[in-house]
Structure 1
Amino acid sequence: MNRFKLLLLSICFFHFSFPKDHSFHSDYGLEWCYFVGHIKAESGNLYGYELSFFRLKFSDGKDWNPEVFPVHFAISDLKQKRHETSQTIKRSLGDLAGYQTNKIYSGEYEFQILSKDQFLIKANPKSKTIALELLLNGNGNILSHGKDGISIKSKRNPNIFSYYYSYPRLVTTGSLWFQGKKETILSGESWMDHEWSEKSSKSIPTLATGESGWDWICLMDNHGGDYVFFRFRASKNSAPEIFGTYRDPKGKVTYWKEGVEIQMDPVGEFWKSNKTKIVYPLHWKIKYPGGEWEVEPIFNEQEFDGSDSTQTIYWEGAVLAKDPNQKKSAKGYLELKGYQKSKDWWEF
């Protein structure tokens, strides 16, 4: 029996259980749960936001070392094209950070799990001008990636995988502060992504290595369809591998593979950050069965410099997309990781 079949046998009995699986998982080494969204204030202003909770711990094969909990937080003013960020990293020691069945927290950031389909997220960084408190209500339609939520990232190396689900179209209300001004959020849609991997490892989790990179995008179209496209690179010199998930308005889920099914390519000129000098491909063309997406950022300056927490510098921002064939439009978020030249992110 080959290694791939052995791997599948070892993980095929996993099934999600909610709301339990919304929280962190103590016996895995690498995990993240994050929220992004397009939201509208009572004033008419439009915002995008990112709130990402991370968890990492190492194992010597017998015992786990103390966990660390970075958080990344950003708000984009989509009309004025302004972007502000904040971040932290706390250890589980002294109850500065941690998780329970109904809560994840780190410093001034908190994710409350009110039920399977309702969440409260809070971000109130000290000495910063951005903050938020948002209530997120789901429709019960959680989206798993891969069979039983097992998302294989690489056909070349099936050991690179995660347990992965998304919760699209979370109805969003609450409050937001941007540059010190409070805004009442009346409407909007958020997207939750949750992944965990590496059951037990003496080494750095595979997905966290400084050599790996990916281009990830979530889209919610105006006809009720939900999409995730993922372009993974195991190292800077590796050819990318492309995967996709699509749920149609009636709830049918399709998993796409690269080649004849989907293609995901950068188009046009790349954008160079004035702050970090990193060059990013912000415009994309994605071809899928029956249509294609032309994706572009709402504005370019949505880079996140995580040097004070995870040591990663990446681009994550609000995007718009159009499908000229099917005459559809979509809103979403794009994440570009692996374009920096720096040390590995756990070397804080």
Structure 2
Amino acid sequence: MNRIKILILSLLFFHFSFPKDHNFHSDFGLEWCYFVGHLESENGNLYGYELSFFRLKFSEDSEWNPELFPVHFAISNFTSQKYKNAQTIKRTIGGLAGYSDKNIYSGTYRLEIISKDKFHIQAESKSKDLSLDLELEGNGKILIHGKDGVSIKSNRKPSIFSYYYSYPRLKTKGNLFFDGKRESIVSGNSWMDHEWSEKNSKSLPTLATGETGWDWICLSDNLGGDYVFFRFRESSKLDPEIFGTYRNPEGKTIYWKEPGQIQMKATGSFWKSPTTKIEYPLHWKIKYPGGEWTVSPIFNEQEFDGSKTTSTIYWEGGVEASDPIQKKSAKGYLELKGYKKPKEWWEF
């Protein structure tokens, strides 16, 4: 059975079931469940965070068929404009990583699925100088992407897809430890994203290869609307394809998938990482039916070097946006994956 037929069957028979689908799915090759958010401490300091749980499973046809569990963790102090991150990668050997009905864990990083609408996340770096412990509670309004949760990444090649949902506006409280100081988090909004793909993959899953890249952004506006924009590049030789999801304050969801519906363009100069020398477009103009977002980072230095765990280097950080047409503002997170260090003048 070819991959197009598999996709068609998936469209016909797949339905989400919560809280079960908050957990990992053992029969898929690639999966990630991650949280990002904007937080405020008791002392009035503003923070952002990323906590990403990954699961990678190689071919079932292979004699060596491990499940790997990388985790990426970062905290951004928006007030002081400081950024720190940590990462790990574990296997199930010795009980160091795994998942059960209500838990996903890898080393000192854990996601507890309390119910359909409640989560408890914990993260602690190896050096113990970076940690968080947060309780998250949703309003019951999970955001489904694509038709019945099947999110097509390329109209040219619809076999590249994932099952994909988000959970915006998770009320967040708890504590974190950053830069030698423990902070009590009294308010905040988190965004959960969960995707899985590549059932019974015979090679490294397509979305995990070094050729693919994307520009992803989630925004929650001050009027109650939630947005996701996704600019996918199968390879650097092909023009990017852009998709979007919008849920209005009344709960109606619109999925933009046709070429030209969304225009997502970088503006201004690129920021060059002093560590990796990779250049990233951190300022964006996003035109969508009826409006236009101008997006800017809260500060530039929010690059994650995941070379030791997922072999990826990307930019992921807090952003703010304004829409003068619809007269609203938004906060969110931006992820830029697939950018590479430019060649020096002597390289070919």
1:62 CA displacement:
7.3
Q: Is the 8 A contact 1:219 1:226 kept in 2?
A: yes
1:11 CA displacement:
3.7
Structure 1 CA distance for aligned equivalents of residues 108 and 4 of structure 2: 42
* Cα distance change, pair 43–59 in 1 and its aligned pair in 2 (3 A): same
Structure 1 CA distance for aligned equivalents of residues 62 and 35 of structure 2: 33
Q: How does 1:1-348 map to 2 (within 5 A)?
A: 4=4, 7-61=7-61, 65-340=65-340
* Cα distance change, pair 63–22 in 1 and its aligned pair in 2 (3 A): farther
Q: Which residue of 2 aligns with 1:346?
A: none
Supply the AA of the counterpart residue of 1:154. S
Structure 2 CA distance for aligned equivalents of residues 55 and 62 of structure 1: 17
Write the deviation string for residues 41-77 of structure 1: whole angstroms up to 9, x where unpaired: 0000000000000000112437771200000000000
SS at match of 1:31: strand
Structure 2 CA distance for aligned equivalents of residues 135 and 6 of structure 1: 38
1:109 CA displacement:
0.2
Supply the AA of the counterpart residue of 1:95. G
Q: Is the 8 A contact 1:142 1:166 kept in 2?
A: yes
1:160 CA displacement:
0.4
Structure 1 CA distance for aligned equivalents of residues 59 and 260 of structure 2: 41
Q: Which residue of 2 aligns with 1:345?
A: none
Which runs of 5 or more structure 2 residues have no equivalent in the other structure? Answer: 343-348
Q: Is the 8 A contact 2:271 2:300 kept in 1?
A: yes
1:258 CA displacement:
4.8
Structure 1 CA distance for aligned equivalents of residues 4 and 113 of structure 2: 35
Write the deviation string for residues 108-160 of structure 1: whole angstroms up to 9, x where unpaired: 00000000000000001221421000000000000010111000100111110
Q: Is the 8 A contact 1:314 1:340 kept in 2?
A: no
Supply the AA of the counterpart residue of 1:66. P
Query: C-alpha root-mean-square deviation of aligned residues, in Å?
Result: 1.7
SS at match of 2:330: strand
Structure 1 CA distance for aligned equivalents of residues 74 and 210 of structure 2: 22
* Cα distance change, pair 203–3 in 1 and its aligned pair in 2 (3 A): closer
1:202 CA displacement:
1.2
1:6 CA displacement:
6.1
1:3 CA displacement:
7.0
SS at match of 1:115: coil
Supply the AA of the counterpart residue of 1:231. R
Q: Is the 8 A contact 1:57 1:64 kept in 2?
A: no
Structure 1 CA distance for aligned equivalents of residues 259 and 206 of structure 2: 25
SS at match of 2:114: strand
1:34 CA displacement:
0.2
Which runs of 5 or more structure 1 residues have no equivalent in the other structure? Answer: 343-348
* Cα distance change, pair 5–309 in 1 and its aligned pair in 2 (3 A): closer
Moved more, 304-313 or 8-17: 8-17
Supply the AA of the counterpart residue of 1:50. E
TM-score (norm 2): 0.95
Q: Is the 8 A contact 1:173 1:185 kept in 2?
A: yes
Structure 2 CA distance for aligned equivalents of residues 152 and 64 of structure 1: 30
Structure 2 CA distance for aligned equivalents of residues 302 and 260 of structure 1: 30
Between the aligned residues of both structures, percent identity stands at 71
* Cα distance change, pair 36–10 in 1 and its aligned pair in 2 (3 A): closer
Write the deviation string for residues 185-206 of structure 1: whole angstroms up to 9, x where unpaired: 0001000000000110111101
SS at match of 1:148: coil
Supply the AA of the counterpart residue of 2:270. F
Supply the AA of the counterpart residue of 1:237. K
Structure 2 CA distance for aligned equivalents of residues 257 and 151 of structure 1: 10
1:277 CA displacement:
0.2
Paired residues, what number? 342
Structure 1 CA distance for aligned equivalents of residues 6 and 86 of structure 2: 42
Supply the AA of the counterpart residue of 1:130. L
Structure 1 CA distance for aligned equivalents of residues 267 and 222 of structure 2: 24
Supply the AA of the counterpart residue of 2:219. L
Q: Is the 8 A contact 2:285 2:295 kept in 1?
A: yes
Q: Is the 8 A contact 1:220 1:330 kept in 2?
A: yes
SS at match of 1:7: helix
TM-score (norm 1): 0.95
Structure 2 CA distance for aligned equivalents of residues 268 and 159 of structure 1: 34
Supply the AA of the counterpart residue of 2:254. T
SS at match of 2:9: helix
Structure 1 CA distance for aligned equivalents of residues 163 and 341 of structure 2: 28
